[in-house]
Structure 1
Amino acid sequence: MCRSAADVTTVPEQLFLVGNLGTMITYAAITVAIAVPVARAGQLRSNKPAVATALIFLTAAIGHGLHAFLAFRNLDRAEHSVPIVWVWALAWWNVVCGVAGVYYWTVRRSGAISAGAIYADPEAERCFAEAAAREQAARSSLAAVVEHTDDGIVGVSLDGVITAWNGGAERLFGYRPDEIIGKPAALLADPSGAQEQRDVIARILRGERGVYYESRRFAKDGTPVEAALTVAPVRDGSGRVTGISVVVRDVTAVKEAAERQRAIEERTNQAQRMESLGKLAGGVAHDFNNILAIIANYTDFAAEEAAGNPALEADLRHVRSATDRAINLTRQLLTFTRGDTIQPQDVDLNAAIAEVHAMLGRTIGEHINLMAVPSAEPAVVHADPGQIQQVLLNLAINARDAMPDGGTLVLEANVADLDGDELAMQPPLPAGRYARLLVSDTGEGMSAEVAARIFEPFYTTKPRGKGTGLGLSTVFGIVTEAGGSLNVYSEPGVGTTFRIYLPLVAAPGRVTTAGSRQAPPPRGDGRTILVVEDEPALARVVTRILASGGYHVLTATGGAEALALFDQHGCDALLTDVIMPEMSGRRVAEVIHGSRPELPVLYMSGYSNGLLGSTHVLDGDIAFIEKPFTAQDLLRKLAEVVGNRVTSPLR
C-alpha cells in the first residue's frame, strides 16, 4: 500500500506542531511559576530580574505558539504556504523576544542578580534574609554574653599586646577598654607573672590547644586578684594562629573559702585525734594514780625508818621528788582528758595575773624581765581558779624555756570584742564580748609548722627528758572546758604571743550579752589606704575589710613594694604591720614621712601592745591595733586615726 506525497509531508508538520506546543506549554508554566510568587510578594515593579526572566519565557512561549499555529495551518495543504501577514507577525514577535533578552541582560549586568542565579526568587530572598537575621541575632547575642559575663575575656596578640577587652575584664581589673587596649598584658602582672605569660604564649605557638593555670594579677589600683586563666589560640581560615584568647576568672573568694575550709578540717581532725588520745591517756592516768599512791606512801614510810641515815634519806628524797613529778604529770593528763574534778567559780583575771606574777617573780630567774599588765575594766570569768593559774604557769614556763639568754615576759588581761569570723581561733567562738589573757615573750619563736601542732598531746620540740608534750594540750583542755578559745601568733627569732579568750561574766550593774554590737564604724568615703602586710592571706582579709568599709585600698606585701605604690598613687593613710622581713613597718613609715610628715599611720601586730611597749619597739602613744582584730575593730580604729590625723613616730 502506497502513501501519497501529501501524507509523507504531513508527518514532519505534525511533529513540528507537537514539539512547539510542548515547548509553549513548558515556557508558559515557567512564566507562571516565576510571575505568581513575584506578584504575591508585591514585587512586580521592584523585582526587575524576575520580571525580565518572566518576559523572556512569556515571549518564547508565545513565539512557539505562533510556530505551532502555522504548523497547524499547513497540515491540510498540499503546498506549505501561509499568508504573508503571519510571516511578518512571527518576525516581529522574534524582535520582541530579542528586546526581552536585551532587557534581561541589562538588568543582570546591573548586579541585581547574584552569581549563579537566573533571577531573584522572593522565597529564596526571604529564606536568605531570615538566615541572615538569625546569624546577626546570634552574633549580637554572643556579643552581649561576652560583654556582660562576670569573667574577663581578653584578646592578646602573639607578642603579648592586649587587643580586646570585655566588660567582665573592666569590672575585674578596673581598666576601661580605651585605657588598656594596645598595652602589654604584662601590665597586669608582676615580673614572675609576666614571664609566666610569655611561657604560656610560647606553649600555644608550639601547638597546644589550650592552657589552664592559676596566678596572681593586679587591678588598676594595685589590689591583687587571684585569677584562674584559660588560654586558647585564635586561628584564621587556614588554621594559622593569629592571636590568643584569655578567659580570666576571679577565684580570690574561692581560695579564701578553701583555706577556711582546710583550717576547719584541720581543727576537726586535731580535735578527733585529741579526743582519741585523751580517752587512752585518761584510762592510763587513773590506773597510774593508784600505782603512784603506793609508791609515794611506801617512800614516806621508808623515809621515817631511814631517819639518821643521811645517804638513804637522800636517796628516798630523790624517789619522792620523782614521784611528785609523776603525780603532776598525771594531773595534767586528767585535766587534758577533762576527767579531773573542777570547781568553777567567778575568777578575776587581774587577781589571777597578780598571784602568778608574785609566784613567778621568786622562781623564773633574774635573766627574765617579768611584767604584769592588768585590765582597765573588770575581766571576770567563770572557771576553776587553780586551772587558770595552771594555764598561766604552763605558758610562762614555756616562754621562759624559749628565752635561755633572757628576754621579756608579759602577762596581760583585758576585754575584747569578737565578730565570729576570726581566723586561727581554736576552736572558733561566736560573736560577743570576751575576757582575754595574753602571755607574750621575746623568745625563739616558732615556725608555722610547729605552731600548727603545739596543742597536740605528747608533741614537744624540747630535748628528750625536758618536756612531756602535755603542757599546751593541758592548756587547750582547760580553756575549751571553760568555753573559751586560743590563738597563737609567733615568728622565729622574734617571739610568741598566746591569747586566751574566755566568756565574760557580767559585772554587778553591767549587762554583757554575746550578741551586743556597737554603732557601725564610719564609712571610708573613698579614702585611699596603703596596706603593708607580709602575710598574703591576712593581706587579702584586710583588703576585703577596708574595701567593704568604703576605702580605696592599695596592697603591698613588703616595704619596697609599698614605697613604689606610694610614689605612684599616694595615699590618705598607712596601715602597716610592725615586724616584717627586709623592711619593718617603722622604716616604711619613716621613709614616707620624709615627704608626707602629716600622713596618718596605724600599726598592727600579732604581738601585744604591752609586749611591744615594754621592749621599746613602739612608743606608747602611737596608733596601734592588735591581731587578731575584728572587722569592726579595724574600721573603727582606722576611722579614728584618719579623723584625728595621728602621726606619732616610731622609735
Structure 2
Amino acid sequence: MPHLFLLANIIIMVSYSAIMVSIVVPVHRAGQLGSNKLATATAMIFFSCAVGHGLHAVMAYQALAGPLGHHPPAAVLSWSAGAAIWDACTAAVGIWYWSLRRGYGVLLHKGAIYVDPWGQTRLDEADARERAARDLAEAHQATLATVAGDSADAIIGLTPDGVITAWNGGAERIFGYPAAEVLARPVTVLTDEAGAGQQADMLARMRGGEGSFSYEGRRIRRDGGAVEVAFTVTPVTDPSGEVIGVSVIARDVSAAKEAAERERAVQERSDQAKRMESLGNLAGGVAHDFNNILAIIANYTDFVIDETRDRPHVQADLAHVRTAVERATSLTRQLLTFTRGDAVQLRDVDLNAAIAEVHAVLERTIGEHITLIAVPAPAPPTVHADPGQIHQILLNLAINARDAMPEGGTIVLEANVASLDGDELNMQPPLPAGTYARMLVSDTGEGMTPETAARIFEPFFTTKPRGRGTGLGLATVYGIVAEAGGSINVYSELGVGTTFRIYLPISATSRTTPSASRSGSPPSGDGRTVLVVEDEVALARIITRILTGGGYQVRTAGNGVEALRIFHEHGCDLLLTDVIMPEMTGPKLAGLILAERPDLPVLYMSGYSNGLLGTTHVLDDGISFIEKPFTGDELLHKVFATMSHDIRHG
C-alpha cells in the first residue's frame, strides 16, 4: 500500500507541474505574467499542489525505508508536519484564486488563457471594431449585389469555357431570358453563327491571359429578335493568377446606334443638300450664260430663215440648227428643273395632252425594242402645274422604264382620275382623302426588290452601273410632285415589272392661255417705247431688232445704273429687263423705277432666275416673265400682253 501511495503522489506531482508550466509559459509570452493575477493564481495553485504531493511522496518513501533503519521516526514526523503546513498554504492559494475568479467573472478567451478586466475592455473594443467592420463589409457587399442585380447593363459571369455562371436583372431585360433558363448553359445560346465565332475568339483571348477589352456584336434575344450590344470583358483570376472565369458587362446600344444612324442620315442629307446647292449654283451660272447664247443662236437662225425663203437647201440646214437649239434648250430646262434654279410658271395642264406630247417625243427616240402605249383619260384631267415639269416627270420615268428592259418590253403612259380615302399605304408623301388626277407609267421590266424600292427617291441613289446613272432623275420627280402637293406610289415585283402612280391635285379653274392668243402675227407695237436692259450685248442687239421690227421704239441699257439714267431722261412704256445682272439685279431696278411710276408694265426675262422672282422659285401672281431662249414671235406676244395688262405666263 505505501508503494502505491508513493507512485500516485509522484504522478500527481508531475501532472500538476506540467499544468503549471503550460499556464506560465503562454502567459509569459503574452506579457501578462505581472498583470494577469488570475493566471498567476492558477499557476500558483498547481505549483503548490505539485509541491504538496512531492512532500507526500517523500513521506511515503520514508515510511517504506523506516523498517530498514535508514531514517529515524523523528524525521518522518518532521516531513509530515511540513506537508500539513504546505497543504494549508495550498488551501490559502486556492481561496485567493476562487475569490479572483468570482470577482472577474472571466476565464479563457481566444488568444489568451485568462484576461483581466482592463484587458477584457480592450478585447471588447477590438471585438466591437471587428464586428462594425464586418457589418460594413457585409452592407457594402449587399449594396454591390443590389447595384449589380438592378443594373440596366447586363452583368454575366462565365467559366473559361463559356458556361454561364451568373446572370443579373439587366441581362434578363436585355436578352429576355430569366436566370433559371440560362445558368449552366453555354453562352452561345445568345447568338447566331457569326456571333458564336466572336464569342469563341473572346474566350480564347481570356484564356490566353489577355486583360480587359471591349467590343460590339449582334446577339439574339429569347424572342428571336436581334439586339446590338457593347461588351466589356474582364478575366477573373485566382491568387496564383490562373484564369478561373470571365466577367462580362453588356450594354444594349441598339437605340444609340439607331440614333447615330439617324444623325448620319441627317448629316448625309445635309451634305447632299449642300452638294445640290453647289450644283444648282453651278448649273444656274452655266444656264444663264448658255441660255443667252442659245437665244442669240436661235434668233439669228430665225433671221436667216426669214431672209432665205428662196433657198430651200439653206432652209433645210437652218432647220437642223433650230432643232439642235430646241434640244439644248430642253436640256438646260431639265437641268434647272432638278436644281430648282428656274422660275416655275404655273398654268393649267391637260394630262392627256402632256402624255400625247411625251409619247410623240419618245416614239422617235426610245428604241425599236420597246413598245410604247399611251392611254388617255375619257375626260381630260387638268392640273395646275408647270408644263415643263410634267414633261420632265413622264420623261424621267419612261427612260428609267426603258433602262429596266434591255431585252425589250412594253411601256404604258396613262392618265385618269382616282379617288383616295386617305389610308393608302406607300404614298410618298401621304395624301388626304379626295379626288386626284393620276398619271401612270408602267413597264414589263426587271422589277425591284422592296429594299431598292424604298430608296429610289434618295438623291444620288442608283442601281445603274457607274457612269450610266446619276441617281438624280427620281429624286427630281419626287421633288416636283411633292412641291405640287401630290404624291407617288410605287409598285414593283421582280420579274414582272414596275408601276409608278403620280397623284396631283385637280385644277379648280382653268387658267390655260387660249391657243388662239398665240396664233397669227403678233400685234404691232404702234411706236410705244420699250426700255431693254440686258448685259449681253449680242442678245440686246437681237431683242432690239425683234422689237423694232414689231413696231416698237427701243432704248437699250447694259446695266441698272444706265437704265435708271435713260428712264429719267426719256421715260418708257414698258421695262424689259434681265433678272440677273452685275451690280444691280432686274427686280431691284424695277423696284426703283416702280417707286416713281407704279403703273409701268415690267417684263422680266431670264434663263435662270435664282429665286429672285417671287417669294419662292414659283412666280408670284402679277409677275410677267419670259424664259430664255425665246423666239421673236414669243417675245412680241409677251410684250404686247404685258403692256395690255393681260399677263399670261408662258
- What is the TM-score of this pair, normalised by structure 1? 0.53
Once the 2 structures are TM-superposed, how far is the Cα of residue 165 of structure 1 from its aligned partner?
1.4
In the alignment, the residues of structure 2 paired with residue 141 and residue 373 of structure 1 have an alpha-carbon distance, to the nearest angstrom, of 77
Counterpart for residue 202 of structure 1: 204
In the alignment, the residues of structure 2 paired with residue 198 and residue 164 of structure 1 have an alpha-carbon distance, to the nearest angstrom, of 18
1:286-335 per-residue CA deviation (whole Å, 9 max, x = no partner) reads 22222111211222333455556565444333322211111101212332
Counterpart for residue 223 of structure 1: 225
Give 1:53-68 correspondences, 5 Å limit. Answer: 55-56=38-39
In the alignment, the residues of structure 2 paired with residue 309 and residue 274 of structure 1 have an alpha-carbon distance, to the nearest angstrom, of 48
In the alignment, the residues of structure 2 paired with residue 451 and residue 131 of structure 1 have an alpha-carbon distance, to the nearest angstrom, of 65
Counterpart for residue 255 of structure 2: 253
1:193 and 2:185 are equivalent in the alignment: no
Q: 2:216 aligns with which of 214, 217, 228?
A: 214
* SS of 2:234 mapped into structure 1: strand
Give 1:254-293 correspondences, 5 Å limit. Answer: 254-293=256-295
Q: Tell me, which stretches of 5 or more residues in structure 1 are unaligned?
A: 1-25, 31-52, 62-83, 509-651
* SS of 1:342 mapped into structure 2: coil
Counterpart for residue 94 of structure 1: 93
Q: Is the 8 A contact 1:147 1:167 kept in 2?
A: yes
Q: Given residue 175 of structure 1, which amino acid in structure 2 is its aligned partner?
A: Y
Counterpart for residue 182 of structure 2: 180
Counterpart for residue 401 of structure 1: 403
Q: Is the 8 A contact 1:155 1:164 kept in 2?
A: yes
Question: Which segment drifts farther, 169-178 or 383-392?
Answer: 383-392
Once the 2 structures are TM-superposed, how far is the Cα of residue 371 of structure 1 from its aligned partner?
7.7
Q: Is the 8 A contact 1:56 1:97 kept in 2?
A: no
Q: 2:336 aligns with which of 323, 334, 337?
A: 334
Counterpart for residue 113 of structure 1: 110
In the alignment, the residues of structure 2 paired with residue 186 and residue 357 of structure 1 have an alpha-carbon distance, to the nearest angstrom, of 61
1:573-631 per-residue CA deviation (whole Å, 9 max, x = no partner) reads xxxxxxxxxxxxxxxxxxxxxxxxxxxxxxxxxxxxxxxxxxxxxxxxxxxxxxxxxxx
Once the 2 structures are TM-superposed, how far is the Cα of residue 255 of structure 1 from its aligned partner?
1.8
Q: Is the 8 A contact 1:336 1:476 kept in 2?
A: no
Q: Is the 8 A contact 2:358 2:391 kept in 1?
A: no
Q: How much is the aligned-residue C-alpha RMSD, in angstroms?
A: 5.4
In the alignment, the residues of structure 2 paired with residue 437 and residue 348 of structure 1 have an alpha-carbon distance, to the nearest angstrom, of 11
In the alignment, the residues of structure 2 paired with residue 278 and residue 264 of structure 1 have an alpha-carbon distance, to the nearest angstrom, of 20
In the alignment, the residues of structure 2 paired with residue 345 and residue 58 of structure 1 have an alpha-carbon distance, to the nearest angstrom, of 125
* SS of 1:208 mapped into structure 2: coil
* SS of 1:212 mapped into structure 2: strand
Q: 2:236 aligns with which of 234, 237, 254?
A: 234
Q: 1:320 aligns with which of 311, 319, 322?
A: 322
Counterpart for residue 165 of structure 1: 167
In the alignment, the residues of structure 1 paired with residue 181 and residue 354 of structure 2 have an alpha-carbon distance, to the nearest angstrom, of 60
In the alignment, the residues of structure 1 paired with residue 87 and residue 470 of structure 2 have an alpha-carbon distance, to the nearest angstrom, of 131
Q: Quick one: structure 1 residues 415 and 373, their matched pair in 2 at CA, closer, same or farther if it must change by over 3 Å?
A: farther
In the alignment, the residues of structure 2 paired with residue 294 and residue 457 of structure 1 have an alpha-carbon distance, to the nearest angstrom, of 34
Q: Quick one: structure 1 residues 279 and 490, their matched pair in 2 at CA, closer, same or farther if it must change by over 3 Å?
A: farther
Counterpart for residue 582 of structure 1: none
* SS of 2:294 mapped into structure 1: helix
Q: Quick one: structure 1 residues 270 and 252, their matched pair in 2 at CA, closer, same or farther if it must change by over 3 Å?
A: same
1:354-392 per-residue CA deviation (whole Å, 9 max, x = no partner) reads 7689768966667546689999xxx99764355234312
Q: Given residue 335 of structure 2, which amino acid in structure 1 is its aligned partner?
A: L
* Alignment size in residue pairs: 428
Q: Quick one: structure 1 residues 341 and 232, their matched pair in 2 at CA, closer, same or farther if it must change by over 3 Å?
A: same
Question: Which segment drifts farther, 361-370 or 182-191?
Answer: 361-370
Counterpart for residue 575 of structure 1: none
Once the 2 structures are TM-superposed, how far is the Cα of residue 347 of structure 1 from its aligned partner?
7.5
Q: Quick one: structure 1 residues 361 and 314, their matched pair in 2 at CA, closer, same or farther if it must change by over 3 Å?
A: closer
Q: Given residue 399 of structure 1, which amino acid in structure 2 is its aligned partner?
A: A
Give 1:609-620 correspondences, 5 Å limit. Answer: none
Counterpart for residue 77 of structure 1: none
Q: Tell me, which stretches of 5 or more residues in structure 2 are unaligned?
A: 1-30, 45-82, 510-650
In the alignment, the residues of structure 2 paired with residue 278 and residue 117 of structure 1 have an alpha-carbon distance, to the nearest angstrom, of 100
Once the 2 structures are TM-superposed, how far is the Cα of residue 198 of structure 1 from its aligned partner?
0.8
Once the 2 structures are TM-superposed, how far is the Cα of residue 407 of structure 1 from its aligned partner?
3.3
In the alignment, the residues of structure 2 paired with residue 471 and residue 294 of structure 1 have an alpha-carbon distance, to the nearest angstrom, of 30
In the alignment, the residues of structure 1 paired with residue 131 and residue 335 of structure 2 have an alpha-carbon distance, to the nearest angstrom, of 86
Once the 2 structures are TM-superposed, how far is the Cα of residue 278 of structure 1 from its aligned partner?
0.8
Q: Quick one: structure 1 residues 317 and 475, their matched pair in 2 at CA, closer, same or farther if it must change by over 3 Å?
A: same
Q: Is the 8 A contact 1:343 1:384 kept in 2?
A: yes
* SS of 1:221 mapped into structure 2: coil
Q: Is the 8 A contact 1:55 1:100 kept in 2?
A: no
Q: Is the 8 A contact 1:410 1:439 kept in 2?
A: yes
* SS of 2:217 mapped into structure 1: strand
1:138-178 per-residue CA deviation (whole Å, 9 max, x = no partner) reads 11111111111122221111112111111111222222222
Counterpart for residue 304 of structure 2: 302
* SS of 2:216 mapped into structure 1: strand
Counterpart for residue 153 of structure 1: 155
Question: Which segment drifts farther, 116-125 or 233-242?
Answer: 116-125
In the alignment, the residues of structure 1 paired with residue 226 and residue 495 of structure 2 have an alpha-carbon distance, to the nearest angstrom, of 29
Counterpart for residue 144 of structure 1: 146
Once the 2 structures are TM-superposed, how far is the Cα of residue 500 of structure 1 from its aligned partner?
6.2
Counterpart for residue 564 of structure 1: none
Give 1:398-437 correspondences, 5 Å limit. Answer: 398-409=400-411, 415=420
In the alignment, the residues of structure 2 paired with residue 185 and residue 388 of structure 1 have an alpha-carbon distance, to the nearest angstrom, of 60
Counterpart for residue 541 of structure 1: none
Q: Quick one: structure 1 residues 478 and 60, their matched pair in 2 at CA, closer, same or farther if it must change by over 3 Å?
A: same
Q: Is the 8 A contact 1:235 1:243 kept in 2?
A: yes
In the alignment, the residues of structure 1 paired with residue 489 and residue 88 of structure 2 have an alpha-carbon distance, to the nearest angstrom, of 115
Q: Is the 8 A contact 2:355 2:374 kept in 1?
A: yes
In the alignment, the residues of structure 2 paired with residue 122 and residue 85 of structure 1 have an alpha-carbon distance, to the nearest angstrom, of 43
Q: Given residue 265 of structure 1, which amino acid in structure 2 is its aligned partner?
A: Q
Q: Quick one: structure 1 residues 248 and 370, their matched pair in 2 at CA, closer, same or farther if it must change by over 3 Å?
A: farther
In the alignment, the residues of structure 1 paired with residue 466 and residue 229 of structure 2 have an alpha-carbon distance, to the nearest angstrom, of 45
In the alignment, the residues of structure 1 paired with residue 372 and residue 96 of structure 2 have an alpha-carbon distance, to the nearest angstrom, of 121
Give 1:4-23 correspondences, 5 Å limit. Answer: none
Q: Given residue 484 of structure 2, which amino acid in structure 1 is its aligned partner?
A: A
Counterpart for residue 135 of structure 1: 137
Q: Is the 8 A contact 2:462 2:469 kept in 1?
A: no
The structure with higher relative contact order (CA 8 Å, sep 6+) is 2
Counterpart for residue 528 of structure 1: none
In the alignment, the residues of structure 1 paired with residue 507 and residue 302 of structure 2 have an alpha-carbon distance, to the nearest angstrom, of 47
Counterpart for residue 392 of structure 1: 394
In the alignment, the residues of structure 2 paired with residue 126 and residue 286 of structure 1 have an alpha-carbon distance, to the nearest angstrom, of 94
In the alignment, the residues of structure 2 paired with residue 353 and residue 115 of structure 1 have an alpha-carbon distance, to the nearest angstrom, of 112
Q: Is the 8 A contact 1:56 1:101 kept in 2?
A: no
Q: Given residue 392 of structure 1, which amino acid in structure 2 is its aligned partner?
A: L
* SS of 1:123 mapped into structure 2: helix
1:88-125 per-residue CA deviation (whole Å, 9 max, x = no partner) reads 886444335666999999964xxx62689967622222
Once the 2 structures are TM-superposed, how far is the Cα of residue 398 of structure 1 from its aligned partner?
2.5
Aligned-pair identity (%)? 52
Q: Quick one: structure 1 residues 314 and 265, their matched pair in 2 at CA, closer, same or farther if it must change by over 3 Å?
A: same
Of structures 1 and 2, the larger Rg is shown by: 2
Q: Given residue 166 of structure 2, which amino acid in structure 1 is its aligned partner?
A: A
Counterpart for residue 554 of structure 1: none
Q: Is the 8 A contact 2:209 2:243 kept in 1?
A: no
- What is the TM-score of this pair, normalised by structure 2? 0.53
Once the 2 structures are TM-superposed, how far is the Cα of residue 270 of structure 1 from its aligned partner?
0.9
Q: Is the 8 A contact 1:357 1:372 kept in 2?
A: no
In the alignment, the residues of structure 2 paired with residue 372 and residue 90 of structure 1 have an alpha-carbon distance, to the nearest angstrom, of 139
Q: Given residue 389 of structure 2, which amino acid in structure 1 is its aligned partner?
A: Q
